[in-house]
Amino acid sequence: MPRVPRMVVTDSGQKAAYHVISRTALDGLPFGKVEKDEMVRIIQRYSAIYSVEVLGFAIMGNHFHLLVEVSPADSMSNDEVRRRFQLLYGEETEFPEGLLDEYRERFCSLSAYVKDIKQRFSCFYNKRRKRKGTLWGERFKSVIVEQGNTLIHCLAYIDLNAVRAGIVKRPEDYRWCSIGYHIQAGNKDGFLSTDLGMPYFGVNDAATQLRTYREYLYHIGAIEKRGKVKISKRVLDEETVEGFDMNRLRRLRYKSRYFTDSGIIGSRAFVEARYETFKDLFGSAREKIPKRVKGIEGMYSLKRLSDA
């Protein structure tokens, strides 16, 4: 069966946010501390080369998550293309002027970005383990994510992976996720976006953004989810004493599968607009209608038949 084309936003002058998920083809949990550290390093390297902004990530024992914003190709100047080329190949490599537009498209390509990350990590892993063969399972999955409430939900879902898996009690205790990198590494080298999606809600001060996001994250993490570990009441109470204001936060229930199983997720208007762009990829002669995400007011999703 031929591959279904990936949904990629091509709106001129507009960034697009994607949640990327990729799993290994190996059994068990093959990624240990060394592998996770190397994966973070590789993501940092290629995020500097490509025109992407990393909002969130989580490296788990057998898969990884990325939440990134990709800039459109028409926003990149010729000098910027040349600069990114030198970062990729070295300053001693002469830039091929005849391929200027091709490299411009490449450095704004989600597929090329993730492909480089996965290939570089595969080389590292196979060399370290003295093995050959396929490391990754089927091609990576990507979900188009709307800015605002949907994006912050998705970021929280990613940062809570280690808590839900029972690895840590507090999300920032896990250093291989975005909130852990913000807290433990102080967002070294400016690897991650610092706004945490908060400017959409009028929160612009960096310290306030981080505090507000952590407050939100802990309350979401304390909600019961079937078959998953939650943040304990004791831990939540301890964080509340440190400065959380429970009365100002709506405790939203959500189903995390929407952030991995959807093709498009966001407000009804956003989903309908994106569906019109990509409707030929949904494999159905009938018009698809956005379905409401239960427990999250104003959020809808569409799922492609090929992903069912």
Per-residue pLDDT at 124 exceeds 90: yes
How confident is the model at residue 18, as a pLDDT?
Answer: 95
| pLDDT band with cut points at 50, 70 and 90 for residue 110 | very high
Q: What is the mean pLDDT of residues 26-46?
A: 96
At 13 the pLDDT is: 74
How would DSSP label each residue in 78-128? HHHHHHHHHHHH-TTSPP-GGGHHHHHHHTT-HHHHHHHHHHHHHHHHHHH
Long-range contacts: 200-204, Cβ < 8 Å, 24+?
Answer: 200/147, 200/148, 200/149, 200/151, 200/152, 201/148
Strands (E), the chain: 16-23, 52-59, 63-70, 141-145, 264-266, 291-292, 300-302
The share of the chain scoring above pLDDT 90, in percent, equals 54
Q: How many CB atoms lie within 10 A of CB 176?
A: 23
Q: Is the pLDDT of residue 244 over 70?
A: no
Statement: residue 1 has pLDDT above 60? no
At 291, is the pLDDT very low, low, confident or very high (cuts 50, 70, 90)?
A: confident
pTM for the structure as a whole: 0.84
258: confidence class by pLDDT, cuts 50, 70, 90: low
The mean of the pLDDT values for the chain is: 86
* Low-confidence winner among 71-80, 143-152, 242-251 (lowest mean pLDDT): 242-251
- Distance, in Å, from the CA atom of 268 to the CA atom of 7, rounded to the nearest integer, reads 18
pLDDT-derived band at 2 (thresholds 50, 70, 90) equals low
**What domains are there in the chain, each with its CATH number?**
1-145 (3.30.70.1290), 146-261 (no CATH), 262-307 (no CATH)
Res 245 pLDDT > 50: no
pLDDT of residue 3: 66
pLDDT digits (tens, 9 = 90+) for 190-235: 999 988 877 776 777 777 788 888 888 998 999 888 788 998 999 8
Look at 198 and 49; give whichever has higher pLDDT.
49
Residue whose C-alpha is closest to residue 116's, from 60, 53, 173, 44: 44
Contact 88, 106 (CB under 8 A): no
Q: What is the mean pLDDT of residues 67-74?
A: 94
